[in-house]
């Protein structure tokens, strides 16, 4: 399951991460992401609106790959899956959350930033991992160093990734995709500024296309 879904994320190249306070905004926001060129969204469990937002997106936008982020407890993973999430992302490596997701045949991308965490994930057969927090840990230079011994593992850098540096991350062949809140900041969502979201997503999609064209 994780590999198949990872291939979908790789096609997108970028995963919009959203922190949403009002579930009423979930569907309009998702439609703006789709119109910008990214039919994918990770709804973080940082707010009480996360579960309802996932349920609304899954029900109203079935073409969108919707996942749950900031999942740090098993009960959150259970609620997210039952609401319609198709993948789970965690900030760290929590064995209980990973084991639960695998017991439900749910794609899970735990966060790692050390060799020990990478190897713990590999022990459970996970080869696609979130690299977090990317920039505070040392950015692309650190990722290149830490990934060197693990040739089969690919990463989703998150944390400090932006329109200014996403191109360099995507150019590294060990990066599956990049993720971040810069595509739809909380302030834009609260203000209903979905036109700005659409424009920013379009810029990001163009960068993905340019990077991939350069790799050919």
- Active site amino acids: 42, 130
- Is the sign of the CA dihedral 186, 36, 170, 127 positive or negative? positive
Looking at residue 73, what DSSP letter applies? S
Q: Which two tokens stand for residue 89?
A: 């992302």
Can you tell me the distance from the alpha carbon of 212 to that of 162, in angstroms, rounded to the nearest whole number?
18
Question: Which residues are within 8 A (CB) of 20 and not within 5 positions of it... i.e. 6 or more apart?
Answer: 26, 29, 43, 47, 49, 50, 53, 186, 189
DSSP code per residue over 127-165:
-EEEETTHHHHTHHHHHHHHHTT-TT-EEEEBSS--TTT
What residues contact 213, with CB distance under 8 A and at least 6 apart? Answer: none
In a 3-state reduction of DSSP, which class is residue 116? helix
Strand positions, DSSP E, the chain: 14-18, 40-44, 65-69, 87-89, 107-109, 111-112, 128-131, 154-157, 178-180
């Amino acid at each position: 399951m994780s590999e198949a879904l990872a291939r979908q994320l790789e096609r997108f190249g970028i995963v919009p991460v959203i922190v949403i306070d009002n579930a009423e905004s979930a569907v309009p926001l998702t439609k703006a992401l789709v119109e910008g060129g990214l039919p994918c969204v990770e709804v973080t469990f940082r707010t009480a609106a996360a579960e309802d937002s996932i349920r609304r997106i899954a029900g109203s936008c079935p073409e969108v790959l919707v996942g749950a982020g900031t999942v740090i407890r098993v009960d959150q993973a259970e609620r997210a899956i039952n609401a319609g999430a198709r993948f789970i992302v965690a900030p760290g490596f929590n064995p209980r959350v990973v084991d639960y997701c695998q017991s439900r045949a749910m794609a899970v991308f735990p966060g790692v930033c050390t060799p020990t965490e990478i190897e713990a994930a590999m022990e459970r057969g996970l080869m696609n991992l979130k690299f977090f927090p990317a920039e505070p840990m040392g950015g692309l230079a650190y990722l290149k160093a830490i990934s060197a011994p693990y040739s089969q593992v690919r990463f989703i850098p998150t944390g400090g990734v932006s329109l200014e540096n996403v191109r360099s991350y995507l150019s590294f062949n060990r990066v599956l995709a990049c993720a971040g809140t810069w595509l739809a900041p909380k302030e834009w969502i609260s203000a209903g500024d979905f036109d700005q979201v659409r424009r920013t997503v379009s810029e990001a999609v163009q960068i993905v296309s340019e990077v991939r064209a350069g790799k050919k």
